[in-house]
């Protein structure tokens, strides 16, 4: 009776780990070319991770069930087994070597920079909002830190945009979950990423690096539009006053914390 | 200091302490408060370390409960964002600096001399100093709660330039940094002491490769401490200089370099992950061998794996910084993946120890099985995070929160619980109650998984860590509620443990010297051990002298058996 308790715990536990694995496939659908590369790496990696985890669970739980104490006979006192030890050292090395190669390939692809990006935007983070400066188009979008909508970053679909990530106060991080990537904005470090959106739509972006009091609501939004809509938007806003999406949006009561 | 006391050497040869009658209880008892304050007995100091760390654990757990309650729903539940930031900062800081690191050294203080057959630590007074630095350093940190502006709120990582005085002016931040300097110095003295003790104080016959794995791991941990903690301590002094003396070391506006703090911090921070893992790997190894009635499988390989982990761990700090653009992704990804190999080897050592054994499942073993099942999940998500392309999405999200709680709680804390149930009889002379132990295990296991499993999903979907709130339209509400319910179960799981300790200290079953059929030297003395630790030592001819003593006639037969089995496969 007592001996079977760990075994009983194990079965729901196995379901839990499988469930975790399946649910873990829960990255959002990517909306950029770079994000699609990440997704292509994520799926097999998470399956491999679950497989390794399940293998260890199976070995551990099998031992628990199979080798529970049944009588007073002393078990054999095997203290080592060199061939097995070599196998269980070499096989993991091969697995991580494989992962390293695919991982490095994807990282290179995600970090690839276009020689001549179609649009260049300076993305500046500050406590606690964002400012987007379209250099050639002469458009400035700025948030004022009120509310929970944040300023809007407008990007043309199918074109490559270079984002220069800048901060002058503290460290922030530019994260649009649907891009499946993020990058930090750190005083003294110049970061840049390229994004090539593949689908139109509006997505929420957020600061991912803890940056003080209102870090939690340092939001922005990304609106991906067709090339024509982008040109129209640029024409409408070029050279004029800073565009502030927040000025129009209704503020939410809880946003003043 | 002599390498080995002469009288100890004599005792080695004398008769083993078979069924000793009940000894008077602990050397602590009857000495009063003054006795505690002035003690240099490694067992007393070890217990003070452990009890103090566990009190900080309760504080850290209470803060975690506040965090989870606040995140139950969008909007403010119990604390405003400013207070929330202080709460999560202090949760992480208390747990890392004041609980899990010191508790490991508390165990080391208590156990290493007993396991290697020594009378004392090498430097008893330095040992006491280390404890008092830890206690007052810890009190310095939590004293932030008593200041007008509250405790530190820059996260347990204290990233520059947020931690500069202009961005975080409250005095609580200075207290936090002073605390790191004090506790860090305390940890360094403890590490020096463990290293000296292991190298110089071993009993006759206790060669390095006959040491219990826990003592091995504490040796390696201590070496890592000497590599990592001075860097953190020095960096904290630099930050104090920045804040109070206008030093501009980490301030970009003054010509400093904020990212330097991250390099310093993680050069400490990643070895630290293993500093708070290796001691607990040691516990698990001991418990598995004893309750499987087997020797540790692949003992030498296990020691080598520990060295490999320690060596690699000083070269992987950049994987915390993939998204900063200031860490070479290829190099740090490669080494981070590689460190999974020796960790994996340990898993096979542990399973190999159980395989073909005769397994019993009292509470220490339950928590150890729990450790195996949960820590592997933290391990595989760690491998996922070692791939920079995936880390770009998952970094600073709840996926990372889930990952390191599976490592730190599912791993280290479960192993610590195993160790508490395992060595409580040695330290107090009384057994903890099995029934309450099982209740504690089930509640912890269920509560833990309910809290943290769903956080993988929240993170992958886009919930950042360290946020005081989220919005209804984010779609994070349901999983956050699940997580909060789990956290409440975890919080409640402390009560069966506390009750168990309370009742067992008074009327727990009397343990005797060796209630578990132990294998290592601490089971050769009385429970609790006398002030001088051993009246007599058994002969030490392998890495499990107490086992050898219990099975004298079978020894040769076993060796023959083992060889036969090896030849057969």
Inform me whether the pLDDT recorded for B531 exceeds 60: yes
Q: Do A182 and B395 touch (CB under 8 A)?
A: yes
Q: Do A41 and B387 touch (CB under 8 A)?
A: yes
- Burial-class residue B553 by CB neighbours within 10 Å (0-12, 13-18, 19+): exposed
Question: Average pLDDT for residues A204-212, to the nearest whole number?
Answer: 95
Inform me whether the pLDDT recorded for B505 exceeds 70: yes
Inform me whether the pLDDT recorded for A16 exceeds 80: no
Q: Tell me the pLDDT tens digit for each residue of B240-280.
A: 999 999 999 999 988 999 999 999 999 999 999 999 999 99
- Lowest-confidence region among B23-27, B389-393, B556-560: B23-27
Q: Do A187 and B360 touch (CB under 8 A)?
A: no
Q: In the prediction, which pLDDT does A72 show?
A: 84
- Lowest-confidence region among A8-22, A39-53, A176-190, B357-371: A8-22
Q: In the prediction, which pLDDT does B15 show?
A: 41
DSSP state letters, B487-508: HHHHHHTHHHHHHHHHHHHHHP
Question: Average pLDDT for residues A134-143, to the nearest whole number?
Answer: 92
Interior/surface letters A213-235, b for 16+ CB within 10 angstroms, e for the rest? bbbbbbbbbbbbbeeeebeebbe
- Lowest-confidence region among B21-25, B509-513, B535-539: B21-25
**Which pLDDT band, with edges at 50, 70 and 90, does B418 fall under?**
very high
Residue A118, both tokens: 């179609």
In angstroms, the CA B536 to CA B533 distance is 9
Name the region of A200 (left: φ>0; alpha: ψ -120 to 50; beta: rest).
Answer: beta
In angstroms, the CA A33 to CA A110 distance is 9
Inform me whether the pLDDT recorded for B448 exceeds 90: yes
Residues 123-182 of A with CB under 8 A from B: 127, 148, 168-171, 173, 175, 177-178, 180-182
The three-class DSSP label of residue B21 is coil
Secondary element (H or E) of residue A131: strand A129-134
Q: Is the distance from CB of B66 to CB of B87 less than 8 angstroms?
A: yes
**Per-residue CA distances from B199 to A53, B116, B189, B495, B559 (Å):** 37, 10, 15, 40, 29
Question: Average pLDDT for residues B70-83, to the nearest whole number?
Answer: 94
In angstroms, the CA B206 to CA B331 distance is 40
Question: Average pLDDT for residues A103-110, to the nearest whole number?
Answer: 94
In angstroms, the CA B540 to CA B549 distance is 9
Contacting residues for A7 by C-beta, under 8 A, at least 6 apart: A61, A64, A65, A68
Contacts of A207 in chain B (CB under 8 A): 464
Of the partner residues A81, A209, A216, the one whose CB lies closest to the CB of residue B396: A209
Q: Tell me the pLDDT tens digit for each residue of A218-231.
A: 999 999 999 999 99
Tell me the shortest Cα–Cα distance from B478 to chain A, in angstroms: 14
Tell me the shortest Cα–Cα distance from A224 to chain B, in angstroms: 19
Question: Average pLDDT for residues B405-430, to the nearest whole number?
Answer: 96
Inform me whether the pLDDT recorded for B197 exceeds 90: yes
Q: Tell me the pLDDT tens digit for each residue of B283-327.
A: 999 999 999 999 999 999 999 999 999 999 999 999 999 999 999
Interior/surface letters A139-163, b for 16+ CB within 10 angstroms, e for the rest? bbbbbebbbbbbbbbbbbbeebbbb
Centroid of chain to Cα B475:
35
Contacts of B338 in chain A (CB under 8 A): 93, 96
Q: In the prediction, which pLDDT does B16 show?
A: 43
Inform me whether the pLDDT recorded for A3 exceeds 60: no
What percentage of chain B carries pLDDT values higher than 90? 88
Inform me whether the pLDDT recorded for B400 exceeds 50: yes
Residue B115, both tokens: 């396991």
Inform me whether the pLDDT recorded for B422 exceeds 50: yes
Q: Do A213 and B85 touch (CB under 8 A)?
A: yes
In angstroms, the CA A102 to CA A85 distance is 27
In angstroms, the CA B416 to CA B428 distance is 17
Backbone angles phi, psi at B466, to 5 degrees: 60, 35
The three-class DSSP label of residue B365 is helix
Q: Do B453 and A19 touch (CB under 8 A)?
A: yes
In angstroms, the CA B371 to CA B347 distance is 11
Inform me whether the pLDDT recorded for B14 exceeds 90: no
Residue B250, both tokens: 């980490």
Q: What angle do CA A186, A190, A196 make, to 5 degrees?
A: 105
In angstroms, the CA B152 to CA B155 distance is 8
Q: Is the distance from CB of B437 to CB of B421 less than 8 angstroms?
A: yes
Residues 5-64 of A with CB under 8 A from B: 5-6, 9-10, 13, 16-17, 19-20, 23-24, 26-28, 37-38, 41-42, 45-46, 49-50, 52-53, 56-57, 59-61, 63-64
Inform me whether the pLDDT recorded for B177 exceeds 50: yes
Q: What angle do CA A198, A199, A205 make, to 5 degrees?
A: 100
Among chain A residues, the shortest Cα distance to B255 is held by A188
Residue A73, both tokens: 């006979």
Of the partner residues B159, B161, B323, the one whose CB lies closest to the CB of residue A182: B323
Specify the residue for token string 């539009």.
Answer: A225
**pTM of the predicted structure, to 2 decimals:** 0.90
Q: Do A170 and B561 touch (CB under 8 A)?
A: no
Q: In the prediction, which pLDDT does A68 show?
A: 92
Torsion of CA B75, B70, B101, A20, to 10 degrees: -90
| Other CB atoms within 10 Å distance of the CB of residue A37 | 21
Contacts of A181 in chain B (CB under 8 A): 389, 392-393
Tell me the shortest Cα–Cα distance from A20 to chain B, in angstroms: 6
Q: Do B161 and A171 touch (CB under 8 A)?
A: yes
Among chain B residues, the shortest Cα distance to A39 is held by B390
Contacts of B326 in chain A (CB under 8 A): 186, 189
Q: In the prediction, which pLDDT does A246 show?
A: 52
Of the partner residues A2, A100, A210, the one whose CB lies closest to the CB of residue B466: A210
Question: Average pLDDT for residues A226-246, to the nearest whole number?
Answer: 84
Contacts of B562 in chain A (CB under 8 A): 76-79
Q: Do B76 and A254 touch (CB under 8 A)?
A: yes
| Rg, chain A, Cα only | 25
Inform me whether the pLDDT recorded for A176 exceeds 90: yes
Q: In the prediction, which pLDDT does B558 show?
A: 64
Nearest alpha carbon to residue B346 among B310, B386, B387, B400: B310
Contacts of B557 in chain A (CB under 8 A): none
Asked if the interface predicted TM-score (ipTM) of this complex is over 0.95, the answer is: no
What percentage of chain B carries pLDDT values higher than 70? 92
In angstroms, the CA B412 to CA B379 distance is 12
Q: In the prediction, which pLDDT does B311 show?
A: 95
Length of chain B in terms of residues written: 569
Q: In the prediction, which pLDDT does B555 show?
A: 57
Among chain A residues, the shortest Cα distance to B452 is held by A20
**Per-residue CA distances from A92 to B296, B353, B388, B490 (Å):** 21, 19, 19, 34
Residue B251 half-sphere exposure, CB side, CA atoms within 13 Å?
A: 18
Centroid of chain to Cα B567:
39
Q: In the prediction, which pLDDT does A24 show?
A: 46
Residue A189 in contact with partner chain B when CB distance is under 8 A: yes
Q: In the prediction, which pLDDT does B357 show?
A: 93
Q: Are strands A139-142 and A152-156 parallel, antiparallel or unpaired?
A: unpaired
Centroid of chain to Cα B486:
22
Residue A213 in contact with partner chain B when CB distance is under 8 A: yes
Contacts of B296 in chain A (CB under 8 A): 79
- Lowest-confidence region among A10-19, B214-223, B300-309, B509-518: A10-19
Among chain B residues, the shortest Cα distance to A28 is held by B461
**Per-residue CA distances from B231 to A4, B314, B336 (Å):** 48, 12, 21
Interior/surface letters A66-99, b for 16+ CB within 10 angstroms, e for the rest? ebbbeeeeebebbbbbeebbeebbeebeebbeeb
Mean pLDDT of chain A: 86
Of the partner residues B153, B460, B467, the one whose CB lies closest to the CB of residue A24: B460
Q: In the prediction, which pLDDT does B104 show?
A: 97
Question: Average pLDDT for residues A245-257, to the nearest whole number?
Answer: 42
Among chain B residues, the shortest Cα distance to A92 is held by B341
DSSP state letters, B184-216: HHHHHHHHHHHHHHHHH-PPTT--GGGS-HHHH
Q: Do B396 and A208 touch (CB under 8 A)?
A: yes
Inform me whether the pLDDT recorded for B3 exceeds 50: no
């Amino acid at each position: 009776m007592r001996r079977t308790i760990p075994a009983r715990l194990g079965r729901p536990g196995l379901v839990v780990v499988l469930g975790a694995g399946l649910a873990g496939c829960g990255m959002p659908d990517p909306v950029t070319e770079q994000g699609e590369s990440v997704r292509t790496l994520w799926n097999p990696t998470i399956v491999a991770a679950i497989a390794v985890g399940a293998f260890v669970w199976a070995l551990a739980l099998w031992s628990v069930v199979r080798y529970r104490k049944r009588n007073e006979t002393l078990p054999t006192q095997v203290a080592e087994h060199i061939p097995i030890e070599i196998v269980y050292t070499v096989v993991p090395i091969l697995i991580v070597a494989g992962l390293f190669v695919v991982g490095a390939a994807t990282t290179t692809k995600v970090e690839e920079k276009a020689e001549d990006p179609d649009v260049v935007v300076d993305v500046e983070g500050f406590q606690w909002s964002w400012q987007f400066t379209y250099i050639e188009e002469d458009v400035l979008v700025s948030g004022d830190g009120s509310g929970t909508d944040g300023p809007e970053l407008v990007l043309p679909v199918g074109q490559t945009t270079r984002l220069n990530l800048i901060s002058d106060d503290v460290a922030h991080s530019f994260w649009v979950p649907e891009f499946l990537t993020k990058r930090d904005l750190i005083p003294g470090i110049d970061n840049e990423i390229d994004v090539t959106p593949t689908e139109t739509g509006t997505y929420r972006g957020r600061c991912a690096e803890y940056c003080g009091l209102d870090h939690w609501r340092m939001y922005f939004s990304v609106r991906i539009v067709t090339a024509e809509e982008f040109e129209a938007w640029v024409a409408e806003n070029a050279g004029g006053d800073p565009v502030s999406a927040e000025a129009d949006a209704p503020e939410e009561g809880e946003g003043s914390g | 200091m002599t390498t080995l006391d002469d009288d100890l050497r004599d005792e080695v040869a004398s008769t083993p302490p078979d069924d000793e009658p009940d000894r008077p209880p602990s050397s602590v008892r009857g000495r009063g408060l003054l006795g505690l304050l002035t003690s240099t007995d490694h067992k007393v100091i070890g217990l003070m370390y452990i009890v103090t760390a566990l009190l900080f654990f309760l504080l850290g757990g209470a803060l975690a409960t506040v965090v989870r309650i606040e995140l139950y729903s969008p909007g403010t539940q119990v604390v405003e964002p400013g207070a929330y930031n202080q709460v999560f900062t202090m949760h992480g800081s208390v747990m890392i600096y004041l609980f899990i690191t010191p508790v490991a050294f508390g165990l080391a203080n208590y156990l290493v001399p007993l396991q290697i057959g020594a009378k004392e630590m090498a430097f008893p007074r330095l040992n006491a100093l280390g404890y008092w630095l830890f206690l007052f350093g810890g009190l310095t940190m939590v004293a932030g709660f008593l200041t007008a502006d509250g405790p530190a709120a820059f996260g347990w990582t204290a990233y520059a330039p947020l931690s500069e005085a202009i961005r975080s002016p409250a005095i609580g931040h200075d207290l936090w940094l002073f605390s790191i300097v004090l506790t860090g110095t305390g940890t360094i003295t403890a590490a020096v002491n463990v290293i000296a003790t292991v190298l110089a104080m071993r009993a006759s016959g206790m060669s390095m490769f006959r040491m219990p794995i826990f003592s091995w791991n504490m040796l390696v941990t201590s070496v890592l401490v000497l590599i990592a903690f001075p860097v953190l301590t020095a960096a904290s002094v630099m930050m104090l200089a920045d804040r109070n003396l206008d030093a501009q070391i980490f301030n970009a506006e003054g010509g400093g370099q904020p990212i330097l703090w991250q390099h310093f911090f993680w050069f400490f921070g990643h070895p630290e992950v293993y500093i708070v893992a290796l001691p607990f790997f040691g516990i698990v190894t001991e418990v598995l061998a004893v309750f499987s009635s087997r020797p540790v499988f692949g003992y030498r390989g296990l020691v080598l794996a520990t060295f490999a982990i320690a060596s690699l761990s000083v070269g992987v700090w950049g994987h915390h910084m993939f998204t900063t653009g200031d860490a070479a992704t290829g190099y740090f990804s490669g080494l981070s993946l590689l460190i999974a190999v020796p960790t994996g080897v340990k898993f096979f050592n542990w399973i190999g120890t159980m395989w073909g054994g005769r397994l019993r499942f009292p509470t220490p073993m339950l928590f150890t099985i729990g450790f195996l099942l949960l820590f592997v999940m933290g391990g595989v998500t760690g491998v996922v995070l070692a791939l920079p392309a995936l880390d770009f999405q998952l970094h600073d999200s709840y996926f990372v929160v889930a990952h390191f709680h599976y490592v730190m709680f599912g791993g280290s804390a479960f192993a610590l619980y195993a160790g508490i149930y395992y060595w409580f009889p040695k330290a107090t002379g009384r057994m903890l109650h099995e029934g309450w132990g099982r209740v504690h295990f089930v509640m912890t296991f269920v509560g833990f998984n309910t809290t943290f499993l769903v956080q993988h999903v929240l993170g992958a979907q886009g919930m950042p860590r360290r946020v005081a709130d989220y919005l209804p339209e984010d779609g994070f509400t349901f999983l956050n509620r699940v997580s909060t319910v789990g956290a409440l179960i975890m919080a409640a799981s402390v009560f069966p443990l506390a009750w168990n300790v309370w009742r067992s200290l008074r009327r727990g079953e009397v343990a005797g010297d060796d209630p578990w059929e132990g294998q290592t030297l601490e089971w050769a003395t009385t429970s609790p051990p006398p002030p001088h630790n051993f009246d007599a030592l058994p002969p030490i001819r392998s890495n499990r002298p107490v086992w050898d003593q219990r099975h004298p006639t079978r020894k040769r037969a076993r060796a023959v058996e083992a060889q036969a089995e090896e030849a057969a496969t």
